[in-house]
């Protein structure tokens, strides 16, 4: 078969293999059926021939639905007919495409020179590129082709995950990519699968090496731009996060206040803005806004003198009715947006695997599945991406798990709108935790514009770690605490470079939010307070008591929320009626909240007033008693609010709304701390000459109840989330003083110790467990006993044996068997039979095998090939060189290019701690277990290892 003009005259700078690659292959892409489905035709129904081009090898410009259909059609009559038509027709591949098609939407590819032969002008400035805006994975593009506008920094948004080295570097730096060649080519990670940290690290190392070897002026500029990209990205992320936080705070404040009335000076003003004089100092505005204000008109005033007054409807009834109705409308609006827009089943994009797609329809499978093929794995549990705080899922994503759409644009918009609606409804939840999820969404979206991060999931997680720090920075006004929170609680991989960028990102976010001044008080958060009195030694005992309470509350809150979620929310009619659950919880919250003034306050206002230090003339919602007789009723009111808040938080956390746990936990702990502080103050007033209070020197205001509230809040939050160092720093930044370093540390340490003794898992770990997310906690310690690697392996696995004939049909059946058994994130060891056993020559992932089979799906009986490294890879100059032996061009039935020729392996007698370090420290996706003689014994993949650890801990714990 003669080569096309484009193929016969390749650019001179291409290597010898690229010239051979220009020769079009005859199998797979020459199928009329394949072309009929995926190539553009002219208005007369024939393929256009304006410019001769060749089809790039191994591409699949198809949607997940189309790829699924092709896989299920393997071996059916339609597939056989199409293969027969191909053998009879053999059309000229030079007539397949025309320049009008634009660039191809690559799902994964090998040959970038083929794209050059398509006569598509792709102008890039070296290896540094920026991706244009595109639809998120929630709105997948056309399954055929995606056009993109080229510019200096712009690339085709659907470029392959692993793009080969182009141009002169193919020949000049072939020896530098030996590790990458042995590691194999990867296609895009499918949703609900684990990333390969090792592969991404090797890939980025080779990219940097090639870039640093460019010594020309242009190369130096490219190096400088490459080094600055990370700082540019985190700057944008920090700024956008602060702007979104400002909008959320302002809208939530207005929506919350609108339940009680409206401002006569402007309907868009909140109560604080409406009742604050411009001549007042920023620190006094909030206190004065809580008092009577003529400009703020309650809803019952509208009905004075109306028919409702004539029938005896009291003002409090009108106020309560309006409060309840508006709260229900806000909550229902939020849950409607969350359920309708962010269900996991609606997030299927072109990166997702066809077979592994969450939307894989069981009905379609029953109709199209070939006889004798096992049914596929049942659908996953539906997740609502905008619900909850998002921190457990962000932790899982940062650990190397892929959830397409969870950090996408649709989720970001839904959460930004639904969060103020949910918080303003008065439910016992906060907005601080979801701000971390929102910041991570911003980081993910911004990083996708840059190829450096878009095509490397490991690198992208560096940006997500920095974004998480920015989220905490705008939530609490604590940039340093945000960095430590990202390090301690969220991030999985946190080198020094990431710490610097996280600090910078948090600083940008905090400075931007300070300039925007969301509360009009000059403070970053509403409950930022200062204290001017020191603590006393005898108070340490009380701080310990508060810490014990925080630990007990945190442990039993986690236990009770786990029980409620698993047994009530998960096993009753509430499981299928999430909106009804939100309606009931909101109704109960409004009934109880309207009766208690402290429950009725928003979470941030309650925490602010509980933290506040009472000075002359301050009221702080009645929390500053003027006489000892006022302490008793005040303690009872705060105690009731604490119990109600605690119980409501148990049933509220986990409903299908954007909901955080930070502020409710702070509120409960602050209530208990304030009670202890008021009791201590009362005792001092009654016994001022006691030896305990000798250090007060007669000062009646020696005891500061707000300090006890702050320590109680920190203790409760530590007991719930199990954070320590970062939480302490956050509290220091909130109070603008280091005076109370020791009390805060004592409360947090005691709370963490008590909570761990009563319940080993914090609320985020429990959420991960309930969501069945494969999170591997590298900080946990396990008791291995005498177990070895051979005790954890799966011995009976699907494998590709080279001593038997591997056809497209047989490999498809093996692929379907693995998926049906729940191995969607697994793969296939490639074995060669030798005297004494089976030798491992490589490994191919499920995604890679599925993609390769999709390309050749029309030849069900064709034989697929896998070559060992010594004959096909080690002596080659690029990924594509495994096809050098084919004079007519690359063979699509040779899957060698997708193999990992050097998978991690351990002996069957290796200690389990070594296997744990492989997964935790090296980020392995799977580990091959071999015998002493080097023969194959089994495989341990990451999901199986996580399940094994859970079972091991359960046996030891029981």
* Segment 405-446, tens digit of pLDDT: 999 999 999 999 999 999 999 999 989 899 999 999 999 999
- Ramachandran class of 192: left when φ > 0, alpha when ψ lies in -120 to 50, beta otherwise: left
Q: What's the average model confidence in pLDDT over 30-38?
A: 38
pLDDT of 139 reads 32
For the chain, the distance separating the N- and C-terminal CA atoms, rounded to the nearest angstrom, is 70
Average pLDDT, the chain: 77
Q: What's the average model confidence in pLDDT over 499-511?
A: 95
With 50 as the cut, is the pLDDT of residue 25 above it? no
Helices 741-758 & 705-721, crossing angle to 10 degrees? 40
Cβ pair 190, 402 in contact under 8 A: yes
Q: What is the pLDDT of residues 537-554, one digit of tens each?
A: 888 999 999 999 999 999
Percent of the residues in the chain that have a pLDDT greater than 90, as a whole number = 36
Confidence of residue 121 (pLDDT cuts 50, 70, 90): very low
pLDDT of 380 reads 64
Cβ pair 153, 130 in contact under 8 A: yes
Place of tokens 């955080």: 660
Report pTM.
0.82
Taking the C-alpha atoms of residue 104 and residue 158, their distance in angstroms, rounded to an integer, is: 8
Confidence of residue 184 (pLDDT cuts 50, 70, 90): confident
**Per the structure block, which two tokens stand in for 692?**
């305990």
Fill in the DSSP letter of residue 538. Answer: T
Calculated CA dihedral for residues 221, 223, 226, 227, nearest 10 degrees: -110
**Of 140-144, 360-364, 404-408, which one has max mean pLDDT?**
404-408
Cβ pair 470, 508 in contact under 8 A: yes
Taking the C-alpha atoms of residue 262 and residue 274, their distance in angstroms, rounded to an integer, is: 9
Q: What's the average model confidence in pLDDT over 476-495?
A: 91
With 90 as the cut, is the pLDDT of residue 564 above it? yes
With 50 as the cut, is the pLDDT of residue 156 above it? no
**Of 121-130, 286-295, 810-819, 864-873, which one has max mean pLDDT?**
810-819
Helices 217-257 & 197-212, crossing angle to 10 degrees? 130
Taking the C-alpha atoms of residue 169 and residue 167, their distance in angstroms, rounded to an integer, is: 5
pLDDT of 544 reads 95
Q: What's the average model confidence in pLDDT over 623-630?
A: 84
Lowest mean pLDDT among 328-332, 363-367, 585-589: 363-367
Question: β-strands 193-194, 401-402: how paired?
Answer: antiparallel
Lowest mean pLDDT among 83-97, 162-176, 634-648, 741-755: 83-97
Which residues, in sequence order, are CB contacts of 82 under 8 Å at separation 6+?
31, 32, 33, 34, 858
Q: Which residue has the higher pLDDT, 432 or 136?
A: 432
Cβ pair 893, 856 in contact under 8 A: yes
Q: How far is CA 822 from CA 121, 197, 792, 840, 948, in A?
A: 43, 22, 17, 23, 15
CA angle at residue 200 from 196 to 203, to 5 degrees?
Answer: 140
With 70 as the cut, is the pLDDT of residue 223 above it? yes
Taking the C-alpha atoms of residue 571 and residue 38, their distance in angstroms, rounded to an integer, is: 46
Q: Where are the beta strands (DSSP E) in 546-588?
A: none
With 60 as the cut, is the pLDDT of residue 840 above it? yes
With 80 as the cut, is the pLDDT of residue 96 above it? no
3-class SS string, 147-201: CCCCECCECCCCCCCCCCCCCCHHHHCHHHHHHHHHHCCCCCCCCCEECCHHHHH
Q: What's the average model confidence in pLDDT over 98-118?
A: 35
* 277 three-state secondary structure: coil
Place of tokens 């530098």: 176
**Which helix (DSSP H) or strand (DSSP E) does residue 82 occupy?**
helix 77-89
Among the listed residues 400, 399, 401, 405, the one whose alpha carbon sits nearest the alpha carbon of residue 386: 405
Taking the C-alpha atoms of residue 55 and residue 506, their distance in angstroms, rounded to an integer, is: 47
Lowest mean pLDDT among 124-138, 511-525, 553-567: 124-138
Spell out a b/e string for 268-279, using b for 16 or more CB atoms within 10 Å of the CB, else e: ebbbbbbbbeee
Q: What's the average model confidence in pLDDT over 826-838?
A: 90
Among the listed residues 315, 319, 278, 269, the one whose alpha carbon sits nearest the alpha carbon of residue 296: 269
pLDDT of 86 reads 52
Lowest mean pLDDT among 287-291, 391-395, 675-679, 953-957: 287-291
* 41 three-state secondary structure: strand
With 90 as the cut, is the pLDDT of residue 36 above it? no
Q: What's the average model confidence in pLDDT over 43-62?
A: 42
Lowest mean pLDDT among 400-414, 605-619, 909-923: 605-619
Q: What is the pLDDT of residues 300-310, one digit of tens each?
A: 777 665 544 44
CA angle at residue 204 from 201 to 206, to 5 degrees?
Answer: 110
What is the CB neighbour count within 10 angstroms for residue 153?
18
Q: What's the average model confidence in pLDDT over 471-492?
A: 92
pLDDT of 62 reads 65
Confidence of residue 42 (pLDDT cuts 50, 70, 90): very low
What is the CB neighbour count within 10 angstroms for residue 168?
11
pLDDT of 957 reads 67
**Per the structure block, which two tokens stand in for 478?**
């604590």
Taking the C-alpha atoms of residue 576 and residue 578, their distance in angstroms, rounded to an integer, is: 6
Q: What is the pLDDT of residues 743-752, one digit of tens each?
A: 999 999 999 9
Which residues, in sequence order, are CB contacts of 921 under 8 Å at separation 6+?
778
Confidence of residue 858 (pLDDT cuts 50, 70, 90): confident
pLDDT of 878 reads 37
With 90 as the cut, is the pLDDT of residue 507 above it? yes
Percent of the residues in the chain that have a pLDDT greater than 70, as a whole number = 73
pLDDT of 282 reads 42
What is the CB neighbour count within 10 angstroms for residue 508?
23
In angstroms, what is the C-alpha Rg of the chain? 32
pLDDT of 702 reads 80
Cβ pair 335, 657 in contact under 8 A: yes
Lowest mean pLDDT among 48-52, 347-351, 818-822: 48-52
Place of tokens 């450096």: 452
**Per the structure block, which two tokens stand in for 524?**
């970053």
**Of 95-109, 405-419, 530-544, 725-739, which one has max mean pLDDT?**
405-419
Taking the C-alpha atoms of residue 625 and residue 228, their distance in angstroms, rounded to an integer, is: 56
Taking the C-alpha atoms of residue 102 and residue 16, their distance in angstroms, rounded to an integer, is: 27
Q: What's the average model confidence in pLDDT over 462-479?
A: 93
Helices (H), 258-357: 271-275, 285-289, 307-310, 315-341
Calculated CA dihedral for residues 648, 654, 655, 658, nearest 10 degrees: 100
Query: Across-strand partners of 130?
Result: 154, 450
Which residues, in sequence order, are CB contacts of 170 under 8 Å at separation 6+?
14, 15, 17, 18, 164, 877, 878
């Amino acid at each position: 078969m003669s080569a096309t003009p484009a193929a016969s005259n390749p650019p001179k700078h291409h290597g010898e293999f690229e010239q051979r690659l220009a020769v079009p292959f005859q199998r797979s892409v020459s199928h009329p059926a394949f072309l009929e489905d995926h190539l553009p035709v002219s208005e007369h129904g024939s393929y256009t021939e304006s410019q001769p081009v060749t089809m790039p090898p191994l591409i699949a410009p198809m949607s997940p639905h189309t790829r699924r259909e092709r896989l299920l059609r393997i071996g059916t009559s339609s597939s056989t007919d199409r293969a027969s038509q191909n053998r009879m027709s053999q059309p000229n591949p030079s007539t397949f495409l025309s320049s009008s098609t634009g660039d191809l939407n690559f799902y994964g590819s090998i040959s970038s020179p083929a794209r050059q032969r398509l006569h598509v002008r792709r102008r890039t400035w070296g290896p540094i590129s920026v991706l244009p805006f595109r639809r998120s994975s929630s709105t997948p593009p056309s399954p055929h082709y995606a056009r993109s506008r080229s510019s200096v920094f712009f690339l085709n948004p659907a470029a392959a995950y692993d793009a080969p080295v182009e141009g002169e570097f193919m020949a000049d730096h072939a020896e530098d990519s030996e590790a990458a060649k042995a590691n194999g080519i990867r296609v895009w990670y499918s949703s609900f699968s684990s990333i390969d940290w090792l592969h991404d690290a090797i890939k980025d190392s080779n990219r940097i090496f090639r870039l640093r070897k460019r010594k020309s002026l242009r190369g130096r500029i490219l190096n400088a731009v490459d080094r600055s990209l990370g700082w540019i990205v985190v700057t944008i992320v920090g700024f956008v996060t602060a702007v979104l936080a400002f909008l959320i705070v302002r809208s939530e404040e207005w929506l919350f206040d609108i339940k009680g009335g409206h401002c006569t000076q402007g309907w868009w003003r909140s109560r604080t803005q409406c009742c604050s004089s411009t001549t007042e100092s920023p620190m006094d505005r909030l206190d004065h806004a809580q008092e009577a204000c003529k400009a703020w008109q309650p809803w019952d005033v509208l009905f004075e003198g109306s028919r409702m007054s004539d029938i005896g409807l009291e003002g409090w009834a009108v106020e309560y009715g309006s409060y309840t109705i508006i709260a229900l409308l806000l909550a229902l609006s939020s849950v409607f947006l969350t359920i309708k827009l962010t269900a996991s089943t609606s997030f299927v994009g072109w990166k997702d695997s066809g077979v592994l797609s969450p939307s894989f329809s069981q009905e379609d499978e029953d109709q199209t599945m070939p006889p004798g093929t096992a049914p596929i794995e049942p659908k996953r549990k539906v997740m609502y991406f905008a619900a909850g705080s998002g921190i457990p899922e962000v932790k899982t994503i940062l650990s190397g798990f892929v959830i397409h759409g969870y950090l996408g644009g649709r989720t970001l918009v839904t959460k930004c709108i639904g969060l103020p609606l949910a918080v303003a409804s008065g439910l016992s939840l906060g907005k601080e935790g979801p701000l971390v999820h929102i910041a991570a969404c911003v980081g993910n979206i911004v990083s996708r514009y840059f190829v450096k991060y878009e095509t490397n999931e490991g690198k992208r997680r560096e940006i997500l770690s920095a974004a998480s720090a920015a989220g905490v920075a705008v939530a609490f006004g604590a940039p340093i605490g945000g960095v430590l929170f990202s390090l301690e609680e969220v991030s999985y991989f946190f080198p020094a470079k990431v710490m610097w960028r996280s600090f910078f990102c948090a600083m940008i976010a905090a400075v931007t939010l300070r300039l925007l001044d969301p509360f009009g008080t000059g403070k970053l958060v509403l409950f930022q307070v200062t204290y001017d009195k020191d603590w006393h030694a005898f108070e340490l005992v009380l701080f310990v008591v508060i810490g014990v309470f925080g630990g007990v509350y945190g442990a039993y809150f986690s236990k009770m929320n786990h029980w409620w979620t698993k047994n009530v929310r998960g096993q009753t009619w509430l499981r299928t009626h999430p909106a009804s659950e939100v309606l009931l919880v909101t109704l109960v919250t409004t009934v109880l909240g309207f009766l208690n003034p402290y429950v009725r306050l928003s979470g941030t206002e309650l925490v602010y007033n509980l933290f506040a230090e009472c000075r002359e003339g301050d009221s702080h919602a009645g929390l500053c008693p003027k006489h000892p007789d006022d302490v008793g009723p005040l303690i009872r009111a705060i105690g009731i609010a604490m119990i109600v808040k605690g119980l409501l938080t148990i049933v509220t956390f986990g409903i299908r709304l954007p909901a955080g746990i930070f502020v409710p936990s702070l509120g409960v702990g602050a209530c208990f701390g304030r009670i202890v502080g008021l009791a201590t103050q009362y005792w001092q007033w009654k016994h001022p000459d006691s030896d305990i209070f000798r250090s007060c020197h007669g000062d009646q205001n020696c005891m500061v109840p707000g300090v006890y509230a702050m320590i109680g809040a920190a203790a409760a939050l530590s007991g719930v989330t199990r954070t320590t160092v970062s939480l302490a720093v956050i509290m220091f930044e909130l109070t603008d003083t280091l005076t109370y370093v020791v009390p805060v540390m004592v409360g947090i340490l005691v709370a963490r110790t008590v909570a761990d003794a009563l319940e080993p898992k914090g609320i985020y770990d429990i959420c991960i467990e309930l969501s069945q997310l494969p999170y591997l906690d590298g900080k946990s310690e396990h008791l291995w006993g005498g177990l070895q690697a051979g005790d954890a392996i799966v011995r009976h696995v699907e494998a590709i044996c080279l001593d038997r004939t591997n056809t497209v049909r047989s490999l498809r059946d093996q692929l379907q068997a693995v998926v049906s058994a729940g191995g969607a994130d697994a793969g296939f060891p490639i074995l060669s039979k030798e005297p004494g056993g089976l030798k491992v020559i490589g490994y191919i992932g499920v995604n890679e095998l599925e993609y390769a089979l999709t390309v050749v799906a029309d030849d069900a009986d064709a034989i697929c090939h896998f070559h060992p490294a010594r004959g096909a890879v080690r002596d080659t100059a690029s990924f594509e060189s495994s096809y050098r032996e084919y004079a007519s061009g690359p063979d699509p039935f040779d899957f060698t290019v997708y193999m990992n020729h050097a998978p991690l392996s351990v002996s069957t007698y290796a200690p389990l701690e070594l296997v744990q370090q492989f997964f935790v420290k090296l980020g392995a996706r799977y580990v091959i277990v071999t015998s002493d003689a080097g023969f194959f014994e089994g495989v341990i993949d990451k999901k199986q290892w996580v399940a094994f650890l859970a079972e091991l801990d359960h046996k030891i714990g029981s």
